[in-house]
Structure 1
């Protein structure tokens, strides 16, 4: 190489950092480097703040949930949130910090102040992720002033009197389901009772509240036409805790990247049913859409409210009833005890007792509600501006707190062998005040499930008919247990609860 070429090269010292120059200096010398340094500093300071001086820093828990919500997002997404948090409670106690500003409480004494007293705390912002067609539903509405007139309009339809007046129609739906189960039980093939119980739940809801039967039980396909529609909204639970803007874009991206013909078809079927029903409903009619139209809601919003009801009513009640079928098939002795009680009652003539007053039948339903975990995870609420003190622990304004059915229903101090199905624990001589206090299947307070009376009635009537008919005699489960994704609304893995007869 010539001397001319050497002259054009920088000297060795030009590549070296002088004793007074640091890597930080070099990074700060460029805009991108400055941003990187500032970002790292902000991240470190934020983490230190959340761990040491944040208003919730006194709440126990592992390090990662204290510094980032990603831990909670991850477990919600993979569907083991309730189990993961339960393990933390076993290690750290009844108060667990599951995100920088969120606390899970495994103490039944927290239920009243959070959900009941003075109307309870306000719902957390993440509930708006359950909006339907850009409308707040009775379930997802955060503002009491928005929810109140809508709830008041339809509450009479869920009264005991209204349900009893229409009991014959609900029994008709139950009879149709039992008949189909009897027909399919003779095929020698596994019968997906979850599909049948979901179909019944949808038919019962539409028959009672819309006065128009969806007729899902009569469908001959392997899966209810509305199932994919229901599963779509159940799947929202994977992203329940995401900020609404992030959730909206995530939902949009998934729809674009992973389109589902089955879901699209199911949505079209449900939309047509709801569109036709609302279009032909007169404002003031004593039905769910009629009463909502009467208070001035637009047809678009009424349709959204009806779809929300169809989703919620189908998913939770269908899962609970499928669990009853599974457990009774696993335990022929219990099924026989139930059947004996029901048949004896039917033979009592004028002395016949209402199904909901039968001791063993009631015990079966209550135990199914306890163990089925249709809604297993925390029901998050915001601590009010005045703050909140619970058993000597202070929670600042704006903190998100809540209890879960998983923690309350599986408390071994209240329910020995909590994972096992034992209806006998609900018989009169065995019931304790603590057991009643820990029942959280429908939530609590003014924001508890608006359809709990209807859902409970469906379970009683269906369980009674399952016993009376003897349809579960000789049935056995294809799997020993029902595995679920622990989302806000749980989802049965593989979407099947199968029984087989005569094998």
Structure 2
């Protein structure tokens, strides 16, 4: 009788039960944790927030309404407590990435979306030498070359404006920071820049397979769409095979972007491998033409068994570096420019520090070297405060409670298999942690604790650590722009070097006038996997001639 019922139209009545009630019933251990009502029954609530490009804000609003623990999916709890960070993202304990990361797989699983712990350890061992101190010092030459290209373009625009009787040239700085970030990571990850800076436009070669004909795509736009659709489908990965049939073009265009982005990586890696193979045939395994960049290091990398990365795996890791090293840098650079120009006194103090620190020959004619700027305290405070207030990586990265008796956090037992995350945006904007001025851009906070705890003596740190000498332990624990633990950003040191060089070059050489947010609307953003500014119009002029 039951089987006959399944083959009738009435069986459709079971679908809502299966789709909504079963996940709710399965997660009985967290059923009493508050949150949006729809989130308790379906993953669609969070998927909808992602589709709108405002997941970080929806989760933050939910925490303000419901408290530290918020149920944002039937089996997913967001925990707005820095004490949860070293537990959920710990080095030990057997925590796994959730199925959310399955939506980001293309070509081959890379370091970012590998969920298996043993496989991740193998990949990290193979890749980590790429970011050794020796390697990073050799990457500076590629950053400098592309920053020089940016300087050429901004000098030209500035000089043209002067000839036309205008003090400033008006630009959308986001576009130029996108071109800069893509050309730098193209140089590092694939062997040569994409050529966006000289062309002044977003363009990149695409190949579906190593031997297929070339086509061209707007790489920045492709990356944005890829991040938005993958992050959205990550809320319901089982939807991915059917997403292209949905009436919403967002999914079709996004999945096409996933293919195009993979095609960009295929084209560039294939070109580099072909060049290397030709050099080896000619007996030139080493020589002046051999580059020391991310791709070269990835090609050299070996796991514990002495095995190198295969072509697909190598391409996937190069693609990971493209994704991780482009949008993050351009987003942060754009947000930093906006906040520095918006906040009275910051620009003058930053430029004063640069003018005093940089030799005259570096001040007006070229890109500073990293050695001259790596220990500048105010520069690093400005960068750190931007990483806090803008929070390019704003969402809570989900992890699964490992098998066993479960994990106790905030006096709650979470059973094995429960999905937990710590929302970076909410943590970075918490008045409880950062003080009542948490929504203000205030680089000085990195010297003076703003939390209601005993103040510590200021230290005389150097490098990136000096921005934070005055933070309380709770604030230091809550600052997670590069995530935390074994799954944290492996390229953090490269990113910090790149940001320091960008900030020193841009603010050391140019004066600005803010034109974005003139109507009091502030910096508009949209979230895909990352939180991206939608634009930042400024006037730019040369300080030195």
2:433 matches 1:425: no
Match of 2:480 in 1: 440
Match of 1:281 in 2: 276
- The Cα of 1:202 is off from its aligned counterpart by 2.3
> For the structure 1 residues 425 and 395, does the alpha-carbon distance in structure 2 shift closer, same or farther, using more than 3 Å as the test?
same
> For the structure 1 residues 41 and 70, does the alpha-carbon distance in structure 2 shift closer, same or farther, using more than 3 Å as the test?
closer
How do 1:353-502 and structure 2 match up within 5 A? Answer: 354-386=372-404, 387-416=406-435, 417-427=437-447, 429=458, 430-469=470-509, 471=510, 473-479=511-517, 481-493=522-534, 496-501=535-540
1:385 is paired with a residue whose SS is coil
Does structure 2 conserve the Cα–Cα contact (< 8 Å) formed by 1:482 and 1:492?
A: yes
Higher mean displacement: 289-298 or 211-220 = 289-298
Does structure 2 conserve the Cα–Cα contact (< 8 Å) formed by 1:281 and 1:289?
A: no
- Per-residue CA deviation, residues 450-494 of structure 1 (Å, 9 max, x unaligned), is 11111111111111112221x1x242132252222233222333x
- Per-residue CA deviation, residues 212-252 of structure 1 (Å, 9 max, x unaligned), is 33333222337784212322322234524344331232147
1:357 is paired with a residue whose SS is coil
- Per-residue CA deviation, residues 83-104 of structure 1 (Å, 9 max, x unaligned), is 1121221122111111110000
Match of 1:159 in 2: 132
- Per-residue CA deviation, residues 48-88 of structure 1 (Å, 9 max, x unaligned), is 736xx811113222322112222111111112222112122
> For the structure 1 residues 446 and 462, does the alpha-carbon distance in structure 2 shift closer, same or farther, using more than 3 Å as the test?
same
> For the structure 1 residues 183 and 434, does the alpha-carbon distance in structure 2 shift closer, same or farther, using more than 3 Å as the test?
farther
1:485 is paired with a residue whose SS is strand
2:337 matches 1:325: yes
How do 1:30-429 and structure 2 match up within 5 A? Answer: 32=8, 34-36=10-12, 46=22, 49=25, 54-118=28-92, 121-133=95-107, 135-185=108-158, 186-187=160-161, 190-221=170-201, 225-251=218-244, 254=249, 271-281=266-276, 287-294=293-300, 295-331=307-343, 333-347=345-359, 354-386=372-404, 387-416=406-435, 417-427=437-447, 429=458
> For the structure 1 residues 41 and 484, does the alpha-carbon distance in structure 2 shift closer, same or farther, using more than 3 Å as the test?
closer
Tell which structure's C-alpha radius of gyration is larger. 1
Tell me how far apart the structure 1 counterparts of residues 440 and 203 of structure 2 sit (CA, whole Å): 29
- The Cα of 1:359 is off from its aligned counterpart by 1.2
> For the structure 1 residues 466 and 38, does the alpha-carbon distance in structure 2 shift closer, same or farther, using more than 3 Å as the test?
closer
Tell me how far apart the structure 1 counterparts of residues 381 and 224 of structure 2 sit (CA, whole Å): 29
Does structure 2 conserve the Cα–Cα contact (< 8 Å) formed by 1:195 and 1:223?
A: no
Does structure 2 conserve the Cα–Cα contact (< 8 Å) formed by 1:138 and 1:151?
A: yes
Tell me how far apart the structure 2 counterparts of residues 264 and 398 of structure 1 sit (CA, whole Å): 32
2:28 is paired with a residue whose SS is coil
1:394 is paired with a residue whose SS is strand
Aligned residue pairs: how many?
A: 467
Tell me how far apart the structure 2 counterparts of residues 30 and 151 of structure 1 sit (CA, whole Å): 48
The alignment yields a C-alpha RMSD, in angstroms, of 3.3
1:96 is paired with a residue whose SS is strand
- The Cα of 1:418 is off from its aligned counterpart by 2.1
Match of 1:3 in 2: none
TM-score for both structures, normalised by structure 2: 0.77
1:443 is paired with a residue whose SS is coil
1:398 is paired with a residue whose SS is coil
Structure 2 unpaired stretches of 5+: 162-167, 205-217, 301-306, 362-369, 449-457, 459-469
Tell me how far apart the structure 1 counterparts of residues 223 and 79 of structure 2 sit (CA, whole Å): 29
Higher mean displacement: 29-38 or 243-252 = 29-38
Tell me how far apart the structure 2 counterparts of residues 247 and 329 of structure 1 sit (CA, whole Å): 42
Does structure 1 conserve the Cα–Cα contact (< 8 Å) formed by 2:225 and 2:257?
A: no
TM-score for both structures, normalised by structure 1: 0.83
Tell me how far apart the structure 2 counterparts of residues 261 and 129 of structure 1 sit (CA, whole Å): 14
- The Cα of 1:39 is off from its aligned counterpart by 5.3
Structure 1 unpaired stretches of 5+: 1-27
Tell me how far apart the structure 1 counterparts of residues 144 and 525 of structure 2 sit (CA, whole Å): 29
Does structure 2 conserve the Cα–Cα contact (< 8 Å) formed by 1:175 and 1:465?
A: no
Match of 2:214 in 1: none
Tell me how far apart the structure 2 counterparts of residues 172 and 348 of structure 1 sit (CA, whole Å): 20
